[in-house]
Amino acid sequence: MDSSRFFELSESISDEIIYSLNHLDDWGKADGHPGQYKHDVIADEIATPQLIAAGLGVISEESTPIGLDKPYIAIVDPIDGSTNASLSLPWYALSLCLVYNEEAVASFVRNLVTGETFSAEVGSGAEKNGRKILVSGVTDIEDALVVFNDLPTKHFGWRQYRALGSAALDLCKVADGSFDAFVDAGEGLAIWDYAGASLICEEAGAKITDTQSDPISFEPSRVRDIKRRQLVCAGSNELHSAILTAMK
């Protein structure tokens, strides 16, 4: 699947999800895995069949992986920020990543309330609503606005912080320079939480690794084990290194 077809499919899926959510009355818990909401199930029932029909293997937060022997695999979080959605907080997104030969080749993240859309194709840069984006380039922690997934146990010198509840969108706002860094201070993120946004960050000039300095990987063992990883993403190599050092 080429990137243009992937982006067309992503747009179509997101439009259908937005339409369904706009007509949803019950935003409560579902009967599936812990923390799953009814809107998660609805969004997954829209996204996954279309991805399968397009010939893709699929790894979704909300359903069983399928077709992982296929050359192209879509990693999808139908709604990243489900709790925000249940509370009518406008910070939740569809996140999609297209993987080929163990490499993320295209990604798409859309805020399902505002419609703000981030996308990237490997080697071609990152965009927000069709315009190129770049990271802030801030190098010093004391100048940095940091967005957190969960809160750290100590203050390590940042200027200001936010904790907003959607890792995909949080990371994308590092990519466009709104935030200077993202730090996961919790129990780690699953691959569907960060797959789409990680390529967008890299293409915008960010450095993103786990807290052991290992880069984002889409090797089969990494993709299949669904192991959670604590991530650090920053708009400069200097800030990334400084944060890792300060967290020790």
Q: What integer pLDDT is reported at residue 30 of this predicted model?
A: 78
Q: What integer pLDDT is reported at residue 212 of this predicted model?
A: 93
**What does the domain layout of the chain look like in residue ranges?**
3-133, 141-247
Q: What integer pLDDT is reported at residue 182 of this predicted model?
A: 99
Q: What integer pLDDT is reported at residue 63 of this predicted model?
A: 86
Q: What integer pLDDT is reported at residue 33 of this predicted model?
A: 67
Cβ contacts of 87 within 8 Å, gap of 6 or more: none
Task: From first to last of the 248 residues of the chain, give the pLDDT tens digit.
Answer: 899 999 999 999 999 999 999 998 888 787 766 678 999 999 999 999 999 999 999 999 888 899 999 999 999 999 999 999 999 999 999 999 999 988 999 999 999 999 999 999 999 999 999 999 999 999 999 999 999 999 888 899 999 999 999 999 999 999 999 999 999 999 999 999 999 999 999 999 999 999 999 999 887 766 666 789 999 999 999 999 999 999 88
115: exposed, middle or buried (Cβ count in 10 Å: 0-12, 13-18, 19+):
exposed
Say how far apart CA 8 and CA 86 lie, in whole Å: 28
Q: What integer pLDDT is reported at residue 131 of this predicted model?
A: 98
Q: Where are the alpha helices (DSSP H) in the chain?
A: 3-22, 38-53, 82-86, 167-175, 191-203, 220-225, 237-247
What pairing do the DSSP bridges indicate for beta strands 117-121 and 126-128?
Answer: antiparallel
For 141-247, CATH number out of 3.40.50.2300, 3.40.190.80, 1.10.10.10, 3.60.15.10 equals 3.40.190.80
Q: Which fold has domain 3-133?
A: Fructose-1,6-Bisphosphatase; Chain A, domain 1 (3.30.540)
